[in-house]
Amino acid sequence: MIDEQQCPATDLRLHLDSRLCNRSHSSTQSGTNKAGYFGKWMIKILIVVLAFNLAVFSTYPINVGLYDYSNYLKMIMEGSSFLVHASGYPAALHLLFDLLSITPTGGQYLTDTDWLLTIQKFQLGIHLILYLVALWLCYKSYGSLVTLLFSFGWGTCIVFANAVNTAGPEWLQGHGIILSLLLSAYAGTLDGYRKALAYTFSAAVFAGAYLVKYNSLLLAPALLGFILFERKGWFFKVSQIIASTLIFSVVVHIYASEYHYKTAGTKQLTFDHAWILTDSLPANYLTKNPETMGINTLRYVSLVRITPTDWSKLDWGNPGDFLEGYKDKYDNLMVLDRNDLISIAKQTPLPPGVTANNSSLPLYNYYGKARADRLGILVYFEALRDHPDYYLKRVTSGLWKTFREIPYGVTFPIYSEPLGASFGAPDFVAGTIKLFPPKDLGSPYYAPYYNPTEILSFWGVKFMDMFNAIKSSSLIYFIFNLIAVIGLLTAVNLRTKLNGVILTGGLLCYVLASYMIIGIRFKEAVAIVPVYFLISSLGISNAFQFARTSIAKWKRSAL
């Protein structure tokens, strides 16, 4: 009988088994250590994020100024839709409040501070819940380091936190966009029916983001990219694109038919294209030589010249139609030939106070929103055809500006930038300070920031002043962008590189299209804050791993 202890083959097998066991134990222990490391840091970041958001919440009562916010509050109370604002955000809050029987006292939606505080509380709660869902999807899709960077960057973004404290939709739009993108990224890690289900759910969430604000549609190429770069056959890709498009269309149709139509009287969601597009026309476009204008521009400027400038009775709650006596004027002008239109444009001066920004408003009022909107769209395309250099310059300069510096200024009153308001003497006992709205506005609700309490936290504003100086540094922003780009370019993992390309491509579509129209304002910036931090986190994470690997190789070669 052979003695196992004296058999060389047995000794070798036992030695190999022992090494494999030790390696497996080491791998398991390493994974456990990484999970514990991630958990500890995640808890610390979440505590910081919660404290930061509570600090913003307690410093600034909900902002109901900035022109549009009062309209959203009215829609929340009434359950109505406006044809100049997307109504998905107020619809969501209205349905929730209707279920809980929460209404402003006496219909005073602008001055009932208890009702406004309730909105602020609900929005903070919804934000934090959706934020945690996004972090979970990020972790499942990209792992620990990306999730840690993403959670801290987005969670402590002062502009997004302040957007949550407004009666505006952009914060909810941002959530809808990032959740739909992360669901698509997560779908790439799944297989079978779960993959198709994740993509379909992503399309439904994206439809919600679109209903909250229509420019969300500019991120659609990113969702399409996730499906097209799937390691699946074309049958799956085409089927999934059809299914996603179908679910998106169904969600939008149901909303337009069952909610929007009841108060707006039309299934068309918006008529504000002409207003936005004509605002982006080249300088002096409406007053240039009429002989160089296109036929639709001639019709537009002629209508503007013969139409009263009064739009005080313009009602955005319905499509509208011709005011009495203006149908014939419209019909007669629309059949005039080019020479007659040139004659009108030359002989009739532009009414005082009319600019490209407000020129469409009288037309909406006197000729109906659909007609004015359609004509304004045609004018924009003629301007695009006649002045491509102007729009190319807007896009290239805007893209470079967005990369090198933060594309928004201060959006909340701080001591170093009160946004036209003025601070009173602080009450150190109560820890508060009075905020007086700008005096040169027709209403305080037109101010960049306003709440009827007109009281802020004194120490909170000081903290936000200091915090803003750090987080809003364009130099830091530019450096992080540069590191992120290097990281994405040097990524070794093919899936990570593809995801970076897809997300960056979607963000570029949004930025480029925005600069083709009115640029990146506070509203546009808030919506893409989460996407920006996801891309940055992917890039910085890969840059860190690339640097660590390069240093390790250098050390080995030096030995």
Question: Sheet of 432-436: strands edge to edge?
Answer: 422-423, 432-436, 455-457
Q: Residues 468-484: pLDDT tens digits?
A: 877 666 778 888 888 99
Residue 408 has a pLDDT of 64
pLDDT at 559: 67
Q: Is the pTM of this model over 0.85?
A: yes
Distance, in Å, from the CA atom of 523 to the CA atom of 170, rounded to the nearest integer, reads 6
Positive/negative CA dihedral, 546, 547, 552, 553: positive
Selection from 129, 149, 131 nearest residue 537 by Cα: 149
* pLDDT given for residue 350 in this prediction: 86
**For each successive 10 residues of the chain (559 residues), what is the average pLDDT?**
44 46 49 74 95 95 90 95 92 96 92 95 97 97 94 92 94 98 96 95 98 96 95 94 97 96 92 91 90 94 90 82 89 93 90 87 91 94 94 90 72 87 91 91 88 93 85 78 88 86 94 90 91 94 86 79
Q: Are 182 and 141 in contact (CB under 8 A)?
A: yes
224 to each of 284, 306, 314, 433, how far by Cα in Å?
Answer: 39, 46, 39, 50
Q: For residue 531, what pLDDT is reported?
A: 96
pLDDT at 4: 42
Question: Rounded to whole angstroms, how far apart are CA atoms 454 and 450?
Answer: 7
Cα–Cα distance for residue pair 361/98, rounded to 1 Å: 33
One-character DSSP codes across 2-54: --GGG-HHHHHHHHHHHHHHHHHHHHHHHHHHHHHHHHHHHHHHHHHHHHHHH
* Model pLDDT, residue 399: 87
Residue 213's SS3 state is: coil
pLDDT at 30: 53
CA distance 329 to 325: 7
Q: Residue type at 234?
A: W
Residues near 151 by Cβ (< 8 Å), separated by ≥ 6? Answer: 42, 45, 46, 49, 135, 138
